Amino acid sequence: MNVYLMAIDPVAFSIGPLSVRWYGILIALGIVLAYFMAQREAVKRGLHEDFMGDMLLWAVPIAIISARIYYVAMKWDYYGAHPGKIIQIWNGGIAIHGALIGAFITAYIFAKKRGVSFLKLADIAAPSILVGQIIGRWGNFVNQEAYGGNVSREFLEGLFLPNWMIEQMYIPELASYVHPTFLYESLWNIVALIILLVARKLNWRRGEMFFFYIIWYSVGRFFIEGLRTDSLYLIGDLRSAQVVSIIGVAVGVVCIVYRRLNVKPVVRYLDKK
């Protein structure tokens, strides 16, 4: 049997010449679910009911643009020689770290203009960001991208994966099965989501849910990135995602320690103001 024939078609449906891909559907679904989750919590925490929607109108397009800028910058040797392809985002080429950086900067500026604590907003949004990432990684699965190195079918069966998932991890160009790194990251983020939802009731200090998200995601991404075969590189064998992850862990830890030692009075997640 030809294994490739069992792969999932990345195109969900077509309308005339327009093809709608599962990747786009899953990304859109992640954004929508993340929004509704954040919206509900934001209203509970005293933010105006239009706050999240207004911010999203800015954050989503800026995140997409910054994700593309980050990707292009990391592959400038190619795009510098082919500048006409820089805007061809429909051919692929975005980076989650670029999207996060763009979204965080947008949220910071938006919160300041609305007179809202950025850390309060970031704590509210952290679980929702994870929801978007959890769902978005399955778009990589459908596209057969963002995978790891070669493994045997027996290895994947040992992970107790269903057959349809195992078959999707067969890459015809490599004539081999590969590490489902999309799944590793998705599961890692599910654990973080559970922890943060519990942390809301534990009433952590303001900002610590956001910093925990940064630390947790960065630790997982550092090790998972080491398995991937499509990494972006800074210099030589230095993977950009791993460098950003190290910086993320350091920033998260320093911010938590500094705020616990120096910020008074203590403001917690469930506090009204």
Q: For 29-62, what is each residue's pLDDT tens digit?
A: 999 999 999 999 999 999 999 999 999 999 999 9
The encoded tokens of residue 10 equal 């990345």
Cβ contact 210:121 at 8 Å? no
Asked if residue 253 belongs to a domain, the reply is no
Place of tokens 């200090």: 205
| 67-80 pLDDT, tens digit each | 999 999 999 999 99
Peptide bond into 265 cis (omega under 30): yes
> Which residue has tokens 């954004």?
31
User: Is 183 domain-assigned?
Assistant: yes
Average pLDDT over residues 229-244: 93
Place of tokens 């920033």: 251
Predicted local confidence at residue 219, as pLDDT? 98
Residue 212 lies in a domain: no
Domain-located, residue 35:
yes
The per-residue pLDDT for 6 is 56
CA distance 173 to 192: 34
> Residue 4 pLDDT > 80, yes or no?
no
| Beta strands 150-151; 18-21: pairing state | unpaired
Q: Is residue 166 part of a domain?
A: yes
Mean pLDDT score of the chain, rounded to an integer? 94
Number of domains present in the structure of the chain: 1
Is 182 in contact with 148 (CB distance < 8 Å)? no
Of 152, 219, 148, whose CA–CA distance to 181 is shortest?
148
- Tokens, residue 260: 């616990």
Asked if pLDDT for residue 3 goes beyond 60, the answer is no
What pLDDT shows up at residue 91? 77
Estimate to the nearest angstrom the gap between the alpha carbon of 152 and the chain centroid: 28
Residue percentage of the chain with pLDDT more than 90: 89
Residue 90 domain boundaries:
3-203
pLDDT surpasses 60 at 196: yes
Alpha carbon distance 59, 55 (integer Å): 6
> What are the angstrom distances between the C-alpha of 75 and each of 70, 92, 149, 251?
9, 13, 21, 26
- DSSP-derived letter for residue 239 is B
Contact 59, 110 (CB under 8 A): yes
Q: Is 249 left (phi over 0), alpha (psi -120 to 50) or beta?
A: alpha
The answer to whether residue 237 sits within a structural domain is no
Compute the average pLDDT of residues 248-259. Answer: 98
> What is the C-alpha end-to-end distance of the chain, expressed in Å?
62
Residues 15-27: pLDDT tens digits? 988 889 999 999 9
Q: How far is CA 64 from the centre of its chain?
A: 12
Flag whether 243 is in a domain: no
